[in-house]
Structure 1
Amino acid sequence: MSTVEEAEKAVETYNGYDLSVRLLTVNKAAPGGSQPKRRVVVNSFKIYVGYLAWQVDNSEQAFSQHGKVIDARVIYNRETGRSCGFGFVTMASETEMNDATAALDGHVC
């Protein structure tokens, strides 16, 4: 960044930013080996969904029966475009996340 203000704005804007399957961690660089203070990112209500059938392209339908789905994504291989067989579903609340997990854990889609 060209100024301290730009760096601080970038940290404020992008630290904790949800980038598909990961939350970004953005801090100002620390001089000479010192460590910046770690910032705590509030956990989202995101569920890992594994062992998806190759043809599954949207996990939202099964989960929406257990609460409001904020986001549902199947992860694809960038080079082949083929499903990786897993994805993530973000629910609106912890209760909905727990209900969906309890109801669908081990469920065959």
Structure 2
Amino acid sequence: MEASFSTSVYVGNLHYDIDSRYLAELFEYAGIVEDSKVICNRNTGQSRGFGFVTMSSVAEAERAAEMFHRYEVYGRRLTVHKAAPRSSRVETPRRRSWHRFGIYVGNLPWQVDDSWLEELFSEHGDVFDARIVYERRGGTWRSRGFGFVTMAREEETYDAVYALNKQILEGRTLLVEVAKERPRRGFY
């Protein structure tokens, strides 16, 4: 896929049953689709809940973003925006100290998973990592109702906290705040 990123759109909050072909057929309503790709987990092959569509022109990409942002498919509202050009992305390793630009997200609905959390915060900047905290109960893993998100830049961290704190998600009021560094445990 060597097409210009200026003709690509990011599509998030996809239902896990949507594949690349379905995505292409949907976006044909906005113009000519050059390519579409639903991003999948390398190990399981399951959709990660987001993808990219490359349109044949910048105007069609803009039309697609306008037409399909907040468009409902299979009960989920899509998040669609023009994909950032590679040159504007921050080239930083994914493994960063969690607290550098970390955000604590509490009172999450039980069905929220890592990709949903990532999608929620991606509207406010580049997300390096998004993790739900799980616990094992009775032989199964279950969300503890909170997680952590790491943003690329400090200003994006504060923007996300300001925008999402006390917002309602699936009937629950989110608690979103800058994560505090926990004191190190160990021997002195």
Give the TM-score taking structure 2 as reference length. 0.36
Amino acid at match of 1:56: I
Query: 2:13 pairs with 51, 66, 70, which one?
Result: 51
Partner residue of 1:5? none
Partner residue of 2:64? 100
* Other structure's SS at 1:99 match: helix
Partner residue of 2:34? 70
**Post-superposition offset of 1:44:** 3.6
For residues 1-109 of structure 1, the aligned pairs below 5 Å read 18=2, 43-58=5-20, 59-109=23-73
**Deviations along 1:24-53, whole A, 9 cap, x unmatched?**
xxxxxxxxxxxxxxxxxx644110000000
**Deviations along 1:67-93, whole A, 9 cap, x unmatched?**
100000001101111110000000000
Give the number of aligned pairs.
Answer: 71
Stretches of structure 2 that go unaligned for 5 or more consecutive residues are: 74-188
Measure, in 1, the Cα distance between the counterparts of 2:13 and 2:41: 15
**Post-superposition offset of 1:108:** 1.4
Measure, in 1, the Cα distance between the counterparts of 2:37 and 2:52: 5
Measure, in 2, the Cα distance between the counterparts of 1:57 and 1:100: 18
Amino acid at match of 2:19: D
* Other structure's SS at 1:65 match: helix
Give the TM-score taking structure 1 as reference length. 0.60
Stretches of structure 1 that go unaligned for 5 or more consecutive residues are: 1-16, 24-41
**% identical aligned pairs:** 38
Q: Tell me which protein shows more strand as a share of its residues.
A: 2
* Other structure's SS at 2:30 match: coil
Which structure exhibits the higher relative contact order, with contacts defined as CA atoms closer than 8 Å and separated by 6 or more residues? 1
Dislocated runs of 4+, deviation >4 Å: none
Partner residue of 2:131? none
* Other structure's SS at 1:88 match: strand
